[in-house]
Structure formats: C-alpha cells, structure tokens
C-alpha cells in the first residue's frame, strides 16, 4: 500500500513540474515522458511486471537516457522517430530481461537466437561508421575513454542483477577485467587513431585479422598448436591483404598500419576474454573491462589531447551509439544469446560485421574500391571464415 501511495504522490509532483513551467495544464503534457521513463526504469534493471528492481541502476541510467533525449533534440528528429527510438530500447531490454530470468523454462528458438546474433553483427558493423565519424571531432583516447565510461554506466544494472543471482565477488574475474581493459585501451586506441586516415572498408577487414592471429597467440601462450586449416588461413589472409592494398603493401596508409597493429592487441584481448569465460560472470568481467578503459584513457586524453566540451557534444551521437548500443546492450545481449546457439554458428554470423561495415562505407561515405581491392577484401573474409569453421584440435591421449 505504501508503495502505491508513494508512486501516486511522486507522479502528482512530476505532473506539477511541467505544468508550472508552462503555466498551464493539458491532458497530453506527460505523453512525451512516458516511453523515456519506461526506458530509464527498464535499463536500470527493473522488471516491467514488478517483483524486483534497482534504485541505484535506475538513477544511474537517467544519464544516458537524458543524453539520448538531448541528442534527439539537437538532431531535430520528429516525435514519431523519438517514440520509435525509445520503443526499440524498451524492446531490447525486454529481450535481455527475459533471457536472464532464472525461472525461464523454455529455451529460445534457434531462429530467434540466429536473428539476434545477426542483429549484433549489424550493430557492430554500424559502429565502425560512428567510430570513424567521431574522429572528425575528438581524439582517439578521449573517444575510447568516454565510450568506456558510458558502457560501464549502462552495464551497471545488469552487473548488479548478475551479482545478486550468482552471489559473491570474484577477485579473479576483476583481475581479468583490468587486464582485458588495458588491452582494450591499446587495441581501441590504435584502431581509433588509424581510422583518422584509413577507409571504413580497410578498417573493418584489417581489424578482422585478429581472428586469424588469435590461434597463433594461443599456441605461443598456452601451447595449443593450430591445425593445418589455421596455417592455410594465415597464408590466405596475407594474400588477401596484399590484394586489398592493390598488389603492394606500400599502398597502405599509416592509419591502415595502425589498424593492422591493433589486430594483434585485439587478439590478446580475445585470449584474456576467453580465459575469463571459464570463471563465469561475463557481465562482471565486461563492466570491469570498460571501467578500466575509462579510468586509464580519460587521464591520458586530458594530458595528450585537446578536450573540448563543444567537440564532445558534437560527437555525442557517435559516443552514445558505440557506448550504449554497440557496447553495453549488445554485449549484454550476446552474453545470454550464446547459450542458445552453437559457438561455430555464432562466430560465422558475427563475422558478417565486416560486410556490414564495408556496405556502410560504400553507401554512407562513398568509398570505392577497385576490382583487385574488393577481391582482396573477399579473400580476407574467406580466411576469417576458415578459422571460424576449423574444428579444434584434440590432444592425443597418453598412456
């Protein structure tokens, strides 16, 4: 009863604020606040039907939703478009909350899982465009740091929910998260710096090389010897890179070289992430990782880059999309979807992110490659698929 009394009183007080500001009252004055309010509450971890929720998560997630509303106003999106955006946020949150319910009995249909993984690949491919767009306004360290801060803040309610379900703090996961965050900072910083001069298409395909490099790092660090398919894929990938550069490596820009170097650190990041998955709590790991990125990158940006409030606001749409949609929400979604789909199928579907990025570079940025370059890009993609589909080597039994 007390909850209903408090809810009604707060609703009445909330209604007085816009009425007092406008010096008039109308029945539809609160309509524009309905979906944003639901989005904040659900993003904060509160179930739509009640039963449980998080005050801390709700208050924390007022910030990204308010920022989203401000960006929508600056971009001057029509009211119908605003409602669609907030409806999409609510829909995604319903999916995530349903999948994380401990009482869920029926498994997710495979076709739905496939569709959601494909959606994640599209969002990650789209994020390449926003990452490149942001480099016209702010520096790579500042972008990486703000991205990490936004993602960590948006992940907070999911982490709290995971903490309550699994119980206890896992210091090993925290250590893995710090290491993963440091590697993410180096890889992401190199990638963002390279995107200043590199094309979106080259960025996508050169970044995807981490898939080919990772098995060799596992061999070096863990003694897991790669199979014949992996060796062949490495040769195919090198040939594809040579063609992507027009038949010579000298045609690559300095930005292309930085992105190619970032693939090595993305591979190390994947090795750490793979090791952390055996300890459970994937959201805890991801939260610590992004929090570490923010804690390290923002002071570096303040020291070595020009930090401008107006520039940050100009890049806000890109920061918001990459931080909330392509990082926090998509990572939280994938952490649950992978339980309902084979790892090999998920890997192949996620590999399509490079195709989405290339298509967006063609459609939105007017990037055009020659026939030889496109052939090289296709060969790199084939090399990535070869690694994804390769069967893991089994260790020989000893007597």
Report the distance separating Cα 165 and Cα 170, nearest Å: 13
pLDDT of residue 122: 85
pLDDT above 80 for 238? no
| Residue from 132, 141, 187, 194 nearest 306 by CA | 141
pLDDT above 80 for 212? no
pLDDT of residue 80: 65
Once rounded to an integer, what is the mean pLDDT over residues 63-77?
Answer: 59
Please report which confidence band the pLDDT of residue 237 belongs to, taking 50, 70 and 90 as the band edges.
confident
pLDDT of residue 48: 55
Q: Is 116 helix (H, G, I), strand (E, B) or coil?
A: helix
96-155 pLDDT, tens per residue?
555 555 433 345 666 777 777 778 888 888 888 889 989 999 999 999 999 999 888 888
Q: Do residues 353 and 121 make contact, with C-beta atoms less than 8 angstroms apart? A: yes
Distances (CA, A) of 371 to 10, 168, 247, 374, 375: 63, 56, 11, 5, 6
Kindly state the percentage of the chain with pLDDT values over 70.
Answer: 63
pLDDT above 50 for 259? yes
Query: For 354-369, b where at least 16 C-beta lie within 10 A, e where not — what string?
Result: bbbbbbbbeeeeeeeb
pLDDT of residue 271: 82
* DSSP character at residue 281: -
pLDDT above 70 for 93? no
pLDDT of residue 297: 95
Select the more confidently predicted residue: 244 or 310. Answer: 310
Q: Is 249 helix (H, G, I), strand (E, B) or coil?
A: helix
Once rounded to an integer, what is the mean pLDDT over residues 292-313?
Answer: 92
Give DSSP secondary structure letters for 306-362: ---HHHHHHTHHHHHIIIIIIIIIHHHHHHHHGGGS-HHHHHHHHHTHHHHHHHHHH
Once rounded to an integer, what is the mean pLDDT over residues 287-316?
Answer: 91
| Residue from 300, 318, 332, 335 nearest 147 by CA | 318
pLDDT of residue 81: 64
pLDDT above 90 for 11? no
- Report the 3 state secondary structure along 110-179: HHHHHHHHHHHHHHHHHHHHHHHHHCCCCCHHHHHHHHHHHHHHHHHHHHHHHHHHHCCCCHHHHHHHHH
Select the more confidently predicted residue: 158 or 27. Answer: 158
Tokens 């098995």 belong to: 215
pLDDT of residue 222: 73
Q: Is 71 helix (H, G, I), strand (E, B) or coil?
A: helix
pLDDT of residue 339: 64
pLDDT of residue 67: 60
pLDDT of residue 292: 95
Please report which confidence band the pLDDT of residue 211 belongs to, taking 50, 70 and 90 as the band edges.
confident
Distances (CA, A) of 4 to 33, 145, 269, 327: 20, 41, 48, 36
Which of 97-111, 152-166, 318-332 shows the lowest mean pLDDT across its residues?
97-111
Distances (CA, A) of 59 to 39, 41, 49, 82, 157: 12, 9, 19, 22, 10
Report the distance separating Cα 65 and Cα 37, nearest Å: 9
| Residue from 369, 316, 314, 345 nearest 203 by CA | 369
Query: For 303-314, b where at least 16 C-beta lie within 10 A, e where not — what string?
Result: eebeeeeebbeb
pLDDT of residue 230: 73
Query: For the chain, how far is it from start to end, CA to CA, in angstroms?
Result: 70
| Residue from 218, 224, 244 nearest 382 by CA | 244
Report the distance separating Cα 290 and Cα 325, nearest Å: 14
């Amino acid at each position: 009863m007390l909850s209903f009394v408090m809810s009604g009183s707060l609703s009445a007080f909330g209604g007085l604020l816009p009425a007092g500001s406008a010096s008039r009252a109308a029945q539809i004055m609160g309509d524009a606040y309905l979906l944003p309010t639901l989005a904040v509450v659900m993003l904060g971890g509160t179930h739509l039907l009640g039963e449980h929720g998080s005050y801390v998560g709700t208050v924390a997630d007022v910030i990204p939703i308010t920022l989203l509303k401000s960006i929508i106003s600056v971009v001057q999106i029509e009211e119908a478009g605003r409602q669609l955006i907030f409806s999409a946020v609510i829909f995604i949150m319903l999916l995530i909350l349903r999948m994380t319910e401990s009482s869920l009995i029926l498994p997710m249909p495979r076709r739905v899982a496939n569709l959601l993984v494909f959606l994640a690949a599209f969002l990650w491919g789209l994020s390449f465009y926003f990452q490149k767009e942001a480099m016209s306004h702010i520096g790579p360290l500042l972008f990486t740091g703000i991205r990490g801060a936004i993602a960590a803040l948006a992940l907070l309610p999911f982490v709290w929910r995971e903490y309550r379900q699994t119980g206890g703090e896992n210091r090993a996961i925290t250590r893995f998260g710090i290491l993963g965050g440091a590697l993410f900072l180096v890889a992401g910083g190199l990638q963002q710096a390279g995107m200043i001069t590199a094309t979106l298409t080259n960025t996508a395909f050169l970044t995807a090389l981490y898939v080919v490099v990772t098995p060799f790092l596992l061999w070096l660090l863990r003694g897991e010897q790669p199979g014949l398919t992996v060796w062949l894929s490495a040769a195919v990938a090198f040939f594809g890179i040579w063609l992507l550069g027009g038949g010579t490596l000298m045609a690559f820009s300095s930005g292309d070289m930085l992105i190619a170097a970032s693939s090595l650190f993305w591979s190390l990041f994947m090795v750490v992430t793979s090791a952390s998955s055996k300890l459970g709590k994937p959201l805890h790991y991801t939260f610590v990782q992004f929090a570490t990125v923010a804690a390290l990158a923002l002071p570096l940006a303040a020291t070595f880059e020009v930090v401008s409030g107006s520039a940050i606001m100009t890049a806000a749409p890109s920061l918001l999309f990459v931080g909330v949609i392509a990082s926090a929400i998509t990572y939280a979604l994938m952490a649950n979807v992978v339980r309902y789909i084979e790892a090999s199928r998920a890997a192949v579907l996620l590999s399509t992110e490079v195709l989405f990025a290339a298509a967006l570079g063609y459609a939105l940025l007017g990037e055009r490659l020659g026939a030889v370059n496109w052939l090289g890009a296709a060969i790199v993609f084939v090399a990535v698929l070869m690694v994804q589909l390769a069967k893991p080597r089994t260790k020989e039994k000893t007597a």
